[in-house]
Amino acid sequence: MSSTRFDPILLHRQHFIDEVTCLDEIFDVLDGWPEDKRGLAYDTLLKACRDTANGRFPLSAARENFRRFLKMSGVLAMVEGGPKFERLMNHQIGNA
């Protein structure tokens, strides 16, 4: 599968906020989604992600569909005032 990264999407887990930054991580979230909460939106998103993995659907659209799915499900996390993702990725620690 693709390891192409995108801007993080944050979601509420039981006791923490999780960060999703690639298609593989979307699949991880969907695999762990409670079966009793799966429905048409879940199935549609899963199909879109599979199509993305096979190169038939844009990653940006799969990311946006995932974000909307989380929002609809009430688990999309909105964190304000935190460090910007780009700064975290470009920050060097020590003499590295």
Model confidence, pTM: 0.79
The β-bridge partners of 20 are: 9
CA distance 91 to 41: 38
The domain segmentation of the chain, as residue ranges, is: 5-90
Residue 87 clears pLDDT 60, i.e. is over it: no
Rounded Cα distance between 89 and 92, Å, is 8
Encode pLDDT of 24-69 as tens digits: 999 999 999 999 999 999 999 999 999 999 999 999 999 999 999 9
Question: What is the C-alpha separation between 49 and 95, in angstroms, rounded?
Answer: 39
User: Strand, helix or coil at 6?
Assistant: strand
